[in-house]
Each structure stands twice: as structure tokens, then as C-alpha cells.
Structure 1
Amino acid sequence: MTTRDRILARIRRAVPAPAPDEATPEAALAAIPRDYLRVHDATWTPARTADLLAANLTEYRAKVHRTDEAGLPPLLARLLSGSRTVLIPPALPPHWLSGTSATLVPDQESSNAHDLDGVDSTVTGCALAIAETGTIVLDGGPDQGRRRITLIPDHHVCVVRVPSQVVDSVPQALERLDPTRPLTWISGPSATSDIELDRVEGVHGPRTLDVILLGAQ
């Protein structure tokens, strides 16, 4: 018997056999008690939730901006003023970038890591945002594009529609997300402190994260 066999045997002995009505994975998941709090304060208003999201994003060193539909194109133009090229997913609303002078680069399947590394910025929407954790979640939707377009360019601008795309808590987020989609959870710009506890940004993704709360004033 190999070491692997011994470890797996111990796991089998430690895990009780499922009850007859929990024979399938779906039934086993349904049987898990979920008596935890879904939200910590049910009296939260959309405005308070948006404020909490902004505060936690800022704590993670993301740059947070608030605007309405009319103010979005000039805000994006300002945020992208230093960018020569901007990568865009297939279904990003065209009027969002109507004010920018940068060259717009469509997301293409043929693009490789070298091509994407040459792009200055990328602009996307999101699946939703979680206020309590200051987290943006992408699921590869048409206004977000493939995961790699938000991991390789050094600057990511993410637009969050408020209040429709903002939830209070992680349990609320999980209820709305499709687990079969490629989910990317973003809490601030990419950073690591692995080496001598010195914070280094831009190691595993964008060095700069701008989050626009669209509809929040």
C-alpha cells in the first residue's frame, strides 16, 4: 500500500457515509445547514451599501469614482488620458469610450500574453460587487471579456452599476453567481507581500485598479 492509499483510506474512515437521501452531490449540498447570517444589518439602504463598498475598495488601495451615465464618458476619458491603447471586451457599450483619444483594441482570441502585455489599460463591466469585502467579481460576461484581459494589462478600469450590481455580503453574491462560469474575485490591485513582508503591486495582475460606481452620487 502506498502512502497515497493510506491517506485516502484514513479520509474514507473519517468521513461518514451519506444518508440514503443524500446519495447525490446535489442532495448532499442541499442537506448542508446554512443558518449563518446572510447580512449583518438588514436595515442597510442602497446608498449605505455603496458607501461601504467604496470604503473597502479604498482600503485595498483601489481608486473609487462615482458618476452617472452622462458623466461616465468624460470620466473614462480622464482616467485613460495617459493610455495609448485600451483593450475592450466585445459588448462594452460604445458610448462609454466616446471621449477617449486612445486606440481601442478589441479582445481577440488570437491575442497572446505578449500582445496583451503591450496594452496600457483595459475597461470592463462586472458581474457584481460585494460591499462587506470590497470585492469585484467578474464572470467572463460579454461586457467583461476573457479573464486574461483583466490580469495582464497594468491598468484595469471596472464599471459597477449601482445599486443593481452591488450586494451586501458574500452569501448574497453566491446566490447570484453561476459556479460554472470562470469567476475572478478582485479585492484591490494585484499585490503581494511574500518577500520580507514588503508590499509589491502588479505582480499577479493590474498595478492600478480604478472602480467606477455608476449611478452612485
Structure 2
Amino acid sequence: MSGRELVLGRIRAALGAGGAPAAAEIPREYSRGVRPVDLGLFVERLEDYRAVVHRGVAIADTVAALAPGPLVVPPGIDPAWLPASVEVLPDDDLSADTLAVAGGVLTAATVAIVETGTIVLDGSPDQGRRIVSLLPDLHICVVRADQVVASVPEALARLDPRRPLTWISGPSATSDIELNRVEGVHGPRRLHVILVEAVEQ
């Protein structure tokens, strides 16, 4: 008897006369409800991924302190977020070379998730093209507290799957086989999140 016949014989014996067993019913009710949002835990998760979170700060002042050079901004960004001291590069289809050497990028967000510490962009006018948030070394992202949800299913309910979604969990990072962490390989090396918990006047 060949090895192949032996293996197939064992499979047939395990399945028995009835053939393949019926598939088990998979529960789908998990994490479906709206749960309370813990902003403190959201911040912890972001910081665990080595993002820097700014709470209770003025957006324009924080952007001015963070931007090391020309700042790329999508066309729909709120002008009130842009300090006069920072050189602004409006993204009117800027080239990849220009984006790669810019000082950073400022975007808004669509939704953020507490349980995973993830921020999602969907290409809306205040978030811009995917390349805009992936090439500059610094990403400054403004997240409103009302955009933060507790779980992934809640976030998915707010998203349009037809849009170009970018899921961000901290700065870009990878590890080699010896677990040496390298940042900035697939996207920004530095992520700063401005968490807005109240509407600015």
C-alpha cells in the first residue's frame, strides 16, 4: 500500500459512511451592539503602538509645534487647523517625489476604534488620497471624540466598503526575523493624533 492510499484510507475511515460531517453553526451575534467608548483605553492603545496623542490642545497650535517643514493638506481640510507659521502644500495631485520629502501631512479621520487602537481614513476630501497619508514621514491626524467607537463591528457599520479605506494602527513598523523593529518602511515613521473632545470655538 502506498503512502497516498494509506492517508486517503485514514481520511475515509475518519469520515465514516456518511461522508463529510455537517458544518457547525457559527454564532454571529458577537459584538453587535453599541458599547460605551473608553477614550482613555483608546489613547493607551495608540500609545502602545508608539503613536503620540495630544488631548485638550488647540489644533492649530499643536500643528505649528509639530510640523518640521512644508505640510501637505488634502483639499477639504479645515482652514482653522492651519497655523500661519506653517508652509502649506495643498494636495492638487502632488507627485510621489514631492510627498516623500514633505515635512508631513495633516488629515482628518472617518472613524477610530478603541479595542484595536485603529484610525480609519476613507479618502474623503479632508483625508485625501491614500498616497498622501503613506509617503510623508510624519502624519498628524485629527480625530473627534464622536468618531471613536468601541469595536470593529461598530466601525464597519459606519464605513462604506466601496471607498479606499486606510486602516492605521500606529506608525508604520515591521520586524525582521530577529524581531528588530524598523519604523517607516510602509508608511509614516511618526504618527501624532490630536484627539478633539469638545468643539473648538
1:166 to 142, 148, 152: 148
Question: Residue type matched to 2:137 in 1?
Answer: D
| Cα contact 2:122–2:166 (8 A) shared by 1 | yes
Counterpart CA distance in 2 for 1:34 and 1:142 is 34
Give the alignment's Cα RMSD to 1 decimal. 2.0
Alignment match, 2:190: 208
Identity %: 54
Q: Report Cα offsets for 1:40-91 as digits up to 9, x if no partner.
A: x94x3x4xx21111010000000011126xx2211221122xx120000001
Alignment match, 1:196: 178
Secondary structure at the counterpart of residue 206 of structure 1: coil
2:115 to 108, 132, 146: 132
The reply on whether 1:107 has 2:91 as its aligned counterpart is yes
Moved over 3 A (4+): none
Of 170-179 and 112-121, more deviation after overlay is shown by 112-121
Counterpart CA distance in 1 for 2:112 and 2:31 is 18
Alignment match, 2:160: 178
Offset at 1:210? 0.1
Alignment match, 2:32: 38
TM normalised by structure 1 equals: 0.75
| Structure number with larger C-alpha Rg | 2
Offset at 1:33? 5.7
Alignment match, 2:124: 141
Unaligned runs of 5+ in 1: 1-13, 17-31
Alignment match, 1:85: 70
Offset at 1:188? 0.3
Counterpart CA distance in 1 for 2:160 and 2:83 is 32
Counterpart CA distance in 2 for 1:212 and 1:102 is 17
Counterpart CA distance in 2 for 1:199 and 1:211 is 21
1:63 to 24, 37, 52: 52
Once the two structures are superposed, the pairs formed by residues 116-127 of structure 1 within 5 Å of their partners are 116-127=99-110
Offset at 1:195? 4.2
Question: Residue type matched to 2:87 in 1?
Answer: T
Alignment match, 1:94: 79
Counterpart CA distance in 2 for 1:113 and 1:190 is 18
Question: Residue type matched to 1:55 in 2?
Answer: E
The reply on whether 1:75 has 2:62 as its aligned counterpart is yes
Unaligned runs of 5+ in 2: 1-19
